[in-house]
Structure 1
Amino acid sequence: MNESKLSELLEQAGERTAVNPPPIDAMRSGATRRRRRRTAVWSAAGTAVAVAAVIGGSTALTNNGASPLEQPPVAGGTPTATVPDNVRLVGVGHTAVAVPKDWATNQLKCGTPTKNTVIVDPGAQGYCLPPYPAGVESVQIGSKPASEFKADETFEVEGVQAQRQRTVCVKRNKVPVCTGAVLIPSRNIWIQAESSTGEAEVGKALEQIWFVQDATGVPGFQTLELETSQAKYLAALKDYGLVPTIVSKPAPGVPKGAVTAVSPTPGTMVPNGSTVTVTVVG
Structure 2
Amino acid sequence: MSDETLAEMLERTADRTEVGAPPMNQMYAAAQRSRRRRGAWTALASAAAVATVIGGIAVLSPDPGGKPSVAEPGLVTPAPGMRLVGIENVVIEVPQEWGTNEVRCGTPQADTVVIDQGLTPACGWSRPAVVSSVKITRDGRDVAAKWEQIEVDGVKASRAEIPCTHYFDVGGGMSDICRSAVEFPEQDVQVLAEVSNPDLDQARAEVDEILSRIRVLPDGQTTIPLRESVSLEMQAKSGAEYVRLLKQMGLEPRVEYVENKEIPDGFAVGVDPVVGTPVKVGEEVTVQITGDAAKNTTAPTTEETKAPGKDKTDGTETLDIPDGKQLVASGRFAFTVPQDWGMNTTECGTPSVNTVLMPVGLGERLCKFYRQPGVQTVEFGSGLSRAGIENPERVQVDGNQARREEIQCDPLEGTPGAVLCSGGLYFIDDQVTLRAASSHTVEATARLQVEQLLSGVSVLPDGWAGVPGLDDANNHPDGKPTERYRDALEDLGFEVAIRTITEGFTTGAKEGTIVEVSPAPGSVLRKGEQVTMTVTKND
What's the TM-score once normalised by structure 1's chain length? 0.67
Query: Partner amino acid for 2:464?
Result: A
Which structure: larger Rg? 1
- Structure 1 residues 253 and 121: CA distance shift in structure 2, 3 A: closer
Work out the CA distance in 1 between the residues paired with 2:408 and 2:523: 29
Work out the CA distance in 2 between the residues paired with 1:269 and 1:263: 12
2:529 aligned residue: 274
Whether the aligned pair in 2 keeps the contact of 1:49 and 1:215 (CA below 8 Å) is no
- Structure 1 residues 88 and 184: CA distance shift in structure 2, 3 A: same
Identity %: 28
1:4 aligned residue: none
Q: Secondary structure at the match of 1:150?
A: helix
**Which residue of 211, 216, 219 maps to 2:459?**
211
- Structure 1 residues 269 and 109: CA distance shift in structure 2, 3 A: same
2:376 aligned residue: 137
Q: Secondary structure at the match of 2:490?
A: helix
- Structure 1 residues 49 and 187: CA distance shift in structure 2, 3 A: farther
- Structure 1 residues 254 and 208: CA distance shift in structure 2, 3 A: same
- Structure 1 residues 171 and 128: CA distance shift in structure 2, 3 A: farther
- TM-superposed deviation, 1:187: 2.2
- TM-superposed deviation, 1:242: 0.7
**Which residue of 359, 367, 379 maps to 1:121?**
359
The answer to whether the aligner puts 1:257 opposite 2:257 as a matched pair is no
2:436 aligned residue: 193
Q: Secondary structure at the match of 1:196?
A: strand
1:133-172 → structure 2 map (5 Å cutoff): 133-142=372-381, 144-145=382-383, 150-151=388-389, 152-157=391-396, 159-172=399-412
- TM-superposed deviation, 1:254: 2.9
2:487 aligned residue: 235
- Structure 1 residues 196 and 125: CA distance shift in structure 2, 3 A: same
- TM-superposed deviation, 1:109: 2.0
- TM-superposed deviation, 1:150: 2.9
- TM-superposed deviation, 1:169: 1.2
Whether the aligned pair in 1 keeps the contact of 2:310 and 2:319 (CA below 8 Å) is no
Whether the aligned pair in 2 keeps the contact of 1:92 and 1:217 (CA below 8 Å) is yes
Of the structure 1 ranges 162-171 and 129-138, higher mean CA displacement relative to structure 2 is found in 129-138
1:178 aligned residue: 421
Q: Give structure 1 stretches of 5+ with no counterpart.
A: 1-41, 51-79
Number of equivalences: 211
Whether the aligned pair in 2 keeps the contact of 1:49 and 1:212 (CA below 8 Å) is no
The answer to whether the aligner puts 1:222 opposite 2:454 as a matched pair is no
- TM-superposed deviation, 1:238: 0.8
- Structure 1 residues 169 and 156: CA distance shift in structure 2, 3 A: closer
1:48 aligned residue: 309
- Structure 1 residues 241 and 140: CA distance shift in structure 2, 3 A: same
Work out the CA distance in 1 between the residues paired with 2:336 and 2:346: 19
- TM-superposed deviation, 1:140: 1.0
Whether the aligned pair in 2 keeps the contact of 1:43 and 1:82 (CA below 8 Å) is no
Work out the CA distance in 2 between the residues paired with 1:234 and 1:81: 26
- TM-superposed deviation, 1:159: 4.7
1:88 aligned residue: 326
The answer to whether the aligner puts 1:247 opposite 2:495 as a matched pair is no
Whether the aligned pair in 1 keeps the contact of 2:496 and 2:531 (CA below 8 Å) is yes
Query: Partner amino acid for 2:517?
Result: V
- TM-superposed deviation, 1:273: 1.2
- TM-superposed deviation, 1:269: 0.6
Which structure is higher in RCO with an 8 Å CA cutoff and minimum separation 6? Answer: 1
2:336 aligned residue: 98
Work out the CA distance in 1 between the residues paired with 2:365 and 2:405: 26
- Structure 1 residues 107 and 199: CA distance shift in structure 2, 3 A: same
- Structure 1 residues 116 and 43: CA distance shift in structure 2, 3 A: closer
- TM-superposed deviation, 1:111: 3.1
Work out the CA distance in 2 between the residues paired with 1:81 and 1:90: 12
The answer to whether the aligner puts 1:202 opposite 2:440 as a matched pair is no
Work out the CA distance in 2 between the residues paired with 1:105 and 1:126: 17
Whether the aligned pair in 1 keeps the contact of 2:43 and 2:524 (CA below 8 Å) is no
- TM-superposed deviation, 1:223: 2.7
What's the TM-score once normalised by structure 2's chain length? 0.36
- Structure 1 residues 146 and 116: CA distance shift in structure 2, 3 A: farther
Q: Give structure 2 stretches of 5+ with no counterpart.
A: 1-41, 45-234, 237-307, 312-317, 441-445
- TM-superposed deviation, 1:94: 1.6
Work out the CA distance in 2 between the residues paired with 1:122 and 1:253: 16
